[in-house]
Chain A
Amino acid sequence: MLVGTPAFAAVANPDYITIEDIYAFRNVLETGDQLYFVRYDVSYNATPNEDASETYQMVLYDVGEATLIHSEPLKYYQHNIISMYFSAAKVTEHGLVWGSAYVVKIRGNPVKFDSLTEGINMRTRTLGGDFKEASVLGTIMLGQAQKLQDDWAGITLLTTGGLLNTTGAYTFEKAIPNLHIMVPEIYSSVLVYPTVERRVWTRAYEESLQAHAGSRLTNSMTSIGSIFGISEGWTSFWLGGVIFLVVVGVMYGATKNPGMSMIMAYPVLVGYAWLGLGSSWLQIVGITFLIVGIMFGIYFILQRFA
């Protein structure tokens, strides 16, 4: 009689397997979400050739182990950490109830092991007093980093200030995606992308101003511009500048005061802006002249009362 054998090569059992710590947190990224964290040790004297993601997993079972809620492949052998995150929507979908005696296991992948035995290639813990609020997530994670660092003699995870260094950040972020958003204060450096509001600019105001000029004036500017091969905007700009300077000259002739003459010519610019002539170019010029006008005004007042 022929007996079928599995098509996979069974993985050797570890020297020991333990769950060192287990925690459940809620409201870490959004109201109603849940995070299940485990620090484990799947200890091999000689590391298997297969990647840990193929051979071991963290699993979460319902109360009484009736239903498998979720499984997550381990990323590393030996002493390390892993987590499962459930968004508020997933919490609702799975019907997770905060504080329930869920069962967490670190176990071999059933596909890779002939059999799973507690204490041999599987370790089970039932959640009890391990439920914590998000406010203590950072402190607990730093404590976990300290424990890992102590055990991993030779690999530093914390800065002298007790925060996660780059290696610590890498290790924890790999085990708990988005931890840097949950508790940025435990990182020695965090890369934050600023939220930029994308504004859509309309030309409604500019067009409303241009409507003041009317088609005749606009057409005349366009015609004059066509003689010199420039646009209506540039024509208005240059003509506006010339008119402004002419008015300044006239005022200077009457007052012999450069500051006063510029201030008195300022209504020309305002009028031009109101007509929308020269559009944006004129606005820039207007602002420049406004600043210059104010400076001359101050100069004028100071000169009068000095």
Chain B
Amino acid sequence: MRRLPFDPKLVKEIQGSPEMSREQGPAFMQAWGGPSQYMFLSRLPMEERLTYTAVQEGYATKEDIRVVTGLTSGEVSRALTSLGKKGLVKDFVAEPVKL
């Protein structure tokens, strides 16, 4: 999840073709939570993407997020603040977890 392996434009093109979509089947982009999720994540800076994904996966403390993402605590804090402003991780903004 640290890097985006392919251009989200390619995902759009595959989705735009019924034949290619059918061929890819249910496993298509599963690792990324589906095509829409990949396209959404591809617009986020890496720190925010990793943090957001960790939160979605259920990691509830900054320390857990830091360990699972490999980011520094400062990067996690900045990412959470930014995500909070975007309304993507409301719980963390309302109740910031102390390190």
Nearest CB in chain B to that of A16: its residue:
B3
**Interface pair A156/B23, CB less than 8 Å apart:** yes
Nearest CB in chain B to that of A46: its residue:
B45
Q: How large is the interface on A (under 10, 10 to 19, 20 to 34, 35 or more residues)?
A: 20 to 34
Would you call B36 an interface residue if the criterion is a C-beta within 8 Å of the partner chain's C-beta atoms?
A: no
Contact of B7 among A45, A78, A156, A167 (CB under 8 A): A78
Q: How far is the CA of A120 from the CA of B35 in the complex (A)?
A: 29
| Interface core residue of B5, B8, B20 (most chain A CB under 10 Å) | B5
**Interface pair B24/A43, CB less than 8 Å apart:** no
Residues facing A in B1-44 (CB within 8 A) are 3-10, 13-14, 17, 19-20, 23-25, 27-32, 42-44
Q: How far is the CA of A46 from the CA of B14 in the complex (A)?
A: 20
Mark contacts of A153-166 with chain B using CB atoms, 8 A cut-off: 1 yes-contact digit, 0 otherwise.
11110000000011
Would you call A152 an interface residue if the criterion is a C-beta within 8 Å of the partner chain's C-beta atoms?
A: yes
Would you call A54 an interface residue if the criterion is a C-beta within 8 Å of the partner chain's C-beta atoms?
A: no
Q: How far is the CA of A45 from the CA of B4 in the complex (A)?
A: 7
Would you call B66 an interface residue if the criterion is a C-beta within 8 Å of the partner chain's C-beta atoms?
A: no
Chain B: interface secondary structure?
A: helix
Would you call A51 an interface residue if the criterion is a C-beta within 8 Å of the partner chain's C-beta atoms?
A: yes
- Enumerate chain A residues within 8 angstroms of B13, measured Cβ to Cβ: 170
In the assembled complex, the CB of B77 is this many whole angstroms from the nearest CB of chain A, namely 18
- Enumerate chain A residues within 8 angstroms of B19, measured Cβ to Cβ: 166
Q: How far is the CA of A52 from the CA of B25 in the complex (A)?
A: 27
- Enumerate chain A residues within 8 angstroms of B10, measured Cβ to Cβ: 76, 80, 155, 171
In the assembled complex, the CB of A104 is this many whole angstroms from the nearest CB of chain B, namely 21
**Interface pair B31/A77, CB less than 8 Å apart:** no
Would you call B93 an interface residue if the criterion is a C-beta within 8 Å of the partner chain's C-beta atoms?
A: no
Contact of B31 among A46, A79, A154 (CB under 8 A): A154
Would you call A238 an interface residue if the criterion is a C-beta within 8 Å of the partner chain's C-beta atoms?
A: no
Given contacts A47-B42, A166-B19, contact A151 B5 (CB under 8 A): yes
- Enumerate chain B residues within 8 angstroms of A173, measured Cβ to Cβ: none
Would you call B49 an interface residue if the criterion is a C-beta within 8 Å of the partner chain's C-beta atoms?
A: yes
Nearest CB in chain B to that of A79: its residue:
B5
| Interface core residue of B7, B20, B31, B49 (most chain A CB under 10 Å) | B7
Would you call B46 an interface residue if the criterion is a C-beta within 8 Å of the partner chain's C-beta atoms?
A: yes
Contact of B24 among A51, A79, A80, A156 (CB under 8 A): A156
- Enumerate chain B residues within 8 angstroms of A77, measured Cβ to Cβ: 7, 9
Chain B contacts to A: CB under 8 angstroms = 3-10, 13-14, 17, 19-20, 23-25, 27-32, 42-46, 49
- Residue pairs across A and B with Cβ atoms less than 8 A apart, 22 shown, are A45-B3, A45-B49, A46-B44, A46-B46, A47-B8, A51-B9, A52-B7, A76-B7, A77-B9, A78-B5, A80-B6, A80-B10, A151-B5, A152-B5, A154-B27, A154-B28, A154-B30, A155-B28, A156-B25, A165-B23, A167-B14, A170-B14
